[in-house]
Amino acid sequence: MNGSRSAGIEHLALIGVGLIGGSLARALRRAGAVSRITGFSINLPELEKAVELGVIDAHAKNAAETATGADMVVVAVPLGAMGSVFAEISPALANEAVVTDVGSVKRCVIQDARATLGRHWPRFVPAHPVAGTERSGVEASLAQLFDRHRVVLTPLADTDLRAVQRVAAMWESAGAIVERMSVDDHDRILAASSHLPHVLAYVLVQTLATHARRDDIFRLAAGGFADFTRIASSDPRMWHDIVLANRDAILTISERFGENVASLLSALRSGDSDRITAVFDGAKKVRDEFEAHRRKRGLGSSAPPPGARP
């Protein structure tokens, strides 16, 4: 855990109490960095479970009530709901309240926040914790989810520096490594490192599910299939919003991927053993270097964390 600064949050408003929001609450409690947490979700049983588990102290009846009196407001809802949440909480925000989000695409969230937060806009800090599992819901939340994982902040020129520092301190208290990046760089990089892999996993499962030998395929599927398709168990609504919001960047990297697939298929058709070997050897080298870097950072294997579904 970084822990170089104390978040010092008196009242955290958590709008969206699922895997990410719940894990943040657990991590801040573990660090003693928050005094009180109020949560809201459109799923009432989820809210009641969050109170029962001690993830939040109380739940409110709507987003505006949740944000009232809070000094830190974290919006952890699907991208398509961000704008309506910002609009609802804006009149209820305290003068010095800091607002942040956890969205996987930053350009669209920033546009929604700028259009709806009014005078509170300078204290909005766009953020993205690059961590998670394919599970969802507060019962899947883990206090250690963010330990030694990156959280990317994408503040703009008119973002209040004190607000940026407070959000950075919050994530450091949760165990994360915080870095800053431009909005466009973030969205392009995440399209390649996260969004495209999810698209591929969904499409592969859908392709095999419609195959004439579907039952035999899944009956004989082994670890490779499970490893590659694990993320296809992620929340479909959330990923629907992500791929639409970041479609230009995803299309750009997908076209490059498609060219590489076409090249490999050409090698297969022609029986070009040397080309196939070069692709596989090169990919293995890069993947091994990636795994070694993860282990050096103390993240261990890239397998899912304890409690995640295979």
| Residue 5: predicted pLDDT | 55
Q: CB-based contacts of 277: which residues, under 8 Å, 6+ apart?
A: none
Euclidean distance between CA atoms 75 and 64, whole angstroms: 12
Average pLDDT rounded to a whole number, residues 299-306 = 48
By percentage, how much of the chain surpasses pLDDT 90?
Answer: 87
21: closest CA among 121, 175, 138?
138
The pLDDT-based confidence of 156 (bands split at 50, 70, 90) is very high
Average pLDDT rounded to a whole number, residues 158-173 = 98
What residue ranges of the chain are covered by domains with CATH 3.40.50.720?
Answer: 9-182
Q: CB-based contacts of 20: which residues, under 8 Å, 6+ apart?
A: 76, 102, 129, 132, 141, 145
What residue ranges of the chain are covered by domains with CATH 1.10.3660.10?
Answer: 185-296
The model's pLDDT over 218-231, given as tens digits with 9 standing for 90+, comes to 999 999 999 999 99
* Backbone angles phi and psi of 128, in degrees to 5: -145, 110
The pLDDT-based confidence of 304 (bands split at 50, 70, 90) is very low
Radius of gyration of the chain (CA): 21
Q: What is the CATH number of domain 9-182?
A: 3.40.50.720
Indicate if the pLDDT at residue 205 is higher than 90: yes
Average pLDDT rounded to a whole number, residues 42-65 = 94
| Residue 1: predicted pLDDT | 41
Range name among 142-146, 166-170, 293-297 with the lowest pLDDT average: 293-297
The model's pLDDT over 242-276, given as tens digits with 9 standing for 90+, comes to 999 999 999 999 999 999 999 999 999 999 999 99
**Mean pLDDT (the chain, rounded):** 92
The pLDDT-based confidence of 300 (bands split at 50, 70, 90) is low
The pLDDT-based confidence of 87 (bands split at 50, 70, 90) is very high
Euclidean distance between CA atoms 222 and 201, whole angstroms: 15
Euclidean distance between CA atoms 128 and 125, whole angstroms: 10
Euclidean distance between CA atoms 121 and 104, whole angstroms: 20
| Residue 295: predicted pLDDT | 86
For helices 107-116 and 82-89, the axis angle rounded to 10 degrees is 30
Do 117 and 99 meet the contact criterion of CB atoms below 8 Å apart?
Answer: yes
93: closest CA among 116, 127, 61, 76?
116
Q: CB-based contacts of 191: which residues, under 8 Å, 6+ apart?
A: 246, 249, 250, 252, 253
305: closest CA among 142, 139, 129, 130?
142
Average pLDDT rounded to a whole number, residues 237-244 = 94
The pLDDT-based confidence of 24 (bands split at 50, 70, 90) is very high
Average pLDDT rounded to a whole number, residues 135-145 = 91
For helices 273-296 and 247-270, the axis angle rounded to 10 degrees is 140
Average pLDDT rounded to a whole number, residues 45-69 = 95
By percentage, how much of the chain surpasses pLDDT 70?
Answer: 94
The model's pLDDT over 103-133, given as tens digits with 9 standing for 90+, comes to 999 999 999 999 999 999 999 999 999 997 7
pTM as predicted: 0.88
Assess if CATH 3.90.700.10 describes domain 185-296. Answer: no
Indicate if the pLDDT at residue 169 is higher than 60: yes
Do 88 and 72 meet the contact criterion of CB atoms below 8 Å apart?
Answer: no
Indicate if the pLDDT at residue 305 is higher than 50: no
